[in-house]
Structure 1
């Protein structure tokens, strides 16, 4: 197990809100102990004590459930170094060289190549791992070049392209419900499932993230990585095991089976929009730090189909949006209607839906039954709340990184295939073949077509 973590770009929001709380959770659960240490690398001219004071404040704010003593353990384990992360000499001075490290790039994707090059030149001990946050590159071309750069320097098993969605408890539970229940697996196909909605709607608006978001947008921020990963888990063939090779082979099969979208298809099967003023929220173009000439979308939707034996005729709808009326974060599996209704009179049955709530975590199955009269249909819902996860998603990811288990990380070919799926959409949008719609903040999004 790796005992040294180096966070490059350690004074940002990712470290504050996710990585520090994840370390606190790992310490609380006994996965790391007093032998563990981490080096925080940033541009600020801070001392160790200044960083530790900042880290303590962030843990108090974002991880109040972590016992105070364990929070202090994490703060005490930290040291801070100011360095240019693209300068090999600067990184040589801050990297431990007597033991393997996990080098976590909590950085903008645009400087991944320069940082990877600098890390390699600085020298990392045998067994070290490189951890990259999404999005992996900014285009298919970027992803191919970055993969080549990484493969020239590090073995694939030492490269972790992380997506915390894959470590969410309900996402993992989706695999359990689907693969471990005989009642579901025989009907998990296009014969019985009409469509699958993979949705991440947020009531939150920009929340001060213009510096990142305005150069990325909803399609790259959410659909290209997070929601396509969920698509893979929903649609893949049952793997031989949940080991990294078997699981990732089946995921890549799904991405390769996505029917390519022509420019015409993209115009018909995708939507983009951004929020206008509403519900006390200013229009996106009026948010501080936004450049209206970027034409950045805050809502994106794709309708995809898979060309394989399992999923003929099933539509997969991937949707995300900001500043919407309500949070809706779920995978909803919609089954086809029954072929014959034996009840008398004008009765209809709502098709069955299996819902996996992502935040908050839940599982529910929506069925149809009858009243005591026996001839009046009524909805029935079977609901369950999964056991709370022992670790937050970033805690699970960090634990896998430290143990060298890449099952929940994204393989090189998978990263490229994800970009292949969305590249025609990006091209169609760049040519204005898909209009930029608007929706009032606080609404349900663009009006239905």
Structure 2
């Protein structure tokens, strides 16, 4: 187990909100101890003492659920180096030390190629690991180029392309429910399932993230990575084991089976939109184009919907709908599995059966099955719902990811060919949208989305 992490971009929002609390979770659970060391590197002209004070403040704000002694221990384990993370000499000083190190690129993805180049020139101790956040590249070509750079630096097993959705207990529950319950797996195919929706709708608007979001939009921010990863777990064939090779091989199979989209497919089976001025509860929300830091000429979407079909024996004939939007009337974050209607209904003409829907709640956690049952009179039907809540996870998603990095288990990270296949799936959509083959719709903030 590696006992040293270097955070490049250590003073950013990712470190403050997620990585530092994740380390506090690992300390609380006993996965890291007094020998663990954290090195922060960023462009701010700070001392180690100032960085420790800042880390303690962020832990008190974002990690208040963890014991105070664990928070103090994480802050006390830290030191800091001012660094240009694209300069080999600065990077060499940051990673210097005994034994292997995990280097976490908590940075804008546009910097990844230059930072990986600096790491290559600086040199890493044998056994070191590299961690990169999504999105991995900006398109298929850049993902392939970045994969080549990484291959020259460390073995593929030492590259962790992390997507925290894969470490969410709720997302893993999709796979667990499928494979551990005989009542579900025999029905898990196009014979019985008409459509599967993977949805991440948010009431949250831009919230000051224009510097990042306006360059990517909903398609690249959510659909290309998070939602495609959930699709892989929903649609994959049962793996022999949950080891990294078997699990990731089956995920790549799903992406390879996605039917390539033509321009006509994109025009008829995708949608894009952005929010106009509206009202969220008691608050007025400006239109996306009027948000601070937004360049309207980029035509960035805040809502994206893509329908996909898989050319495989199991899924031919089932529609997969991936959707994500901001500033909507309600949070809806779920996988909804919609079964086909029953072939015959031996009830009165006034009865109607609503198809069964199995819902995996991603946030908040939960599992709901919508069923039909008989009503108070013979021949009547009524809708029923069976609901279950899951126990809270032992570790937050980022805690699970960091533990896997330290232990060297890449099963929940994305393999290089998988990252490239994800871009291949959406490359036709990106191209068609850039050529305005799909109109940019609008929806009022606080509404259910485009009509």
Scaled by the length of structure 1, the TM-score of the pair is: 0.99
Q: CA deviation at 1:345?
A: 2.8
1:358 alignment partner in structure 2: 362
Question: Which residue is equivalent to 1:187?
Answer: 187
Contact 2:348 2:380 in 1 (8 A): no
Q: CA deviation at 1:373?
A: 2.9
Residue of structure 2 in register with 1:404 after alignment: 408
Deviation at 1:96, TM superposition (A): 2.8
Distance apart, 1:439 and its partner CA: 0.3
Q: Which has the larger displacement, 90-99 or 111-120?
A: 90-99
Alignment of 1:264-413 (within 5 A): 264-279=264-279, 280-413=284-417
Do the aligned partners of 1:97 and 1:123 also contact (CA within 8 Å) in 2?
A: no
SS of the aligned residue for 1:329 comes to strand
| Cα separation, 2, equivalents of 1:94 and 1:149 | 20
What CA distance in whole angstroms lies between the structure 1 residues aligned with 2:50 and 2:278? Answer: 40
- Asked whether 1:156 is paired with 2:160, we answer no
Task: Kindly state the Cα deviation for residue 52 of structure 1 after the two structures are TM-superposed.
Answer: 1.3
- Give the structure 1 partner of residue 131 of structure 2: 131
Q: Does 1:41 align with 2:41?
A: yes
Query: Could you list the per-position Cα deviations for residues 76-108 of structure 1 after superposition, in whole angstroms to 9, with x for gaps in the alignment?
Result: 001111101111111111213321110000111
Instruction: Tell me the equivalent position of 2:22.
Output: 22
8 Å contact 1:97–1:124 — kept in the other structure?
no
RMSD in angstroms over aligned alpha carbons?
A: 0.7
Larger CA deviation: 108-117 vs 137-146:
108-117
For 2:71, the equivalent position in structure 1 comes to: 71
Deviations 1:18-54 (Å, cap 9, x if unpaired)? 0011011111011111111110111100111111111
| Structure 1, unpaired ranges of 5+ | none
Work out the CA distance in 2 between the residues paired with 1:154 and 1:119.
10
- Between the aligned partners of 1:116 and 1:407, the Cα distance in structure 2 is 22
Tell me if the contact between 1:52 and 1:76 (Cα under 8 Å) persists in the aligned partners: yes
Asked if residue 441 in structure 1 is aligned to residue 441 in structure 2, the reply is no
Helix, strand or coil: the match of 2:183?
Answer: coil
CA distance in 2, matches of 1:28, 1:123: 33
CA drift of 1:374 comes to 3.5
| Inter-partner Cα distance in structure 2 for 1:260 and 1:410 | 21
Structure 1 outlier segments of 4+, above 4 Å: none
Partner of 2:329, secondary structure, is coil
1:418-440 superposed Cα distances (whole Å, 9 cap, x missing partner): 00011100100011000000000
1:263 CA displacement? 1.2
- How far apart, in 2, do the equivalents of 1:185 and 1:374 lie? 32
| Whole-angstrom CA distance in 1 between matches of 2:137 and 2:193 | 34
Query: How do 1:414-433 and structure 2 match up within 5 A?
Result: 414-433=418-437
The match for 2:97 is: 97
CA distance in structure 2 between the aligned counterparts of 1:378 and 1:53, rounded to whole angstroms: 59
Assess if the C-alpha contact under 8 Å between 2:368 and 2:388 holds in 1.
Answer: yes
* 1:131 alignment partner, SS class: strand
Deviations 1:127-183 (A, max 9, x none): 100000000000100001001111122100000000000000111111110001110
Match of 2:122 in 1: 122
Aligned length: 447
How far apart, in 2, do the equivalents of 1:272 and 1:372 lie?
45
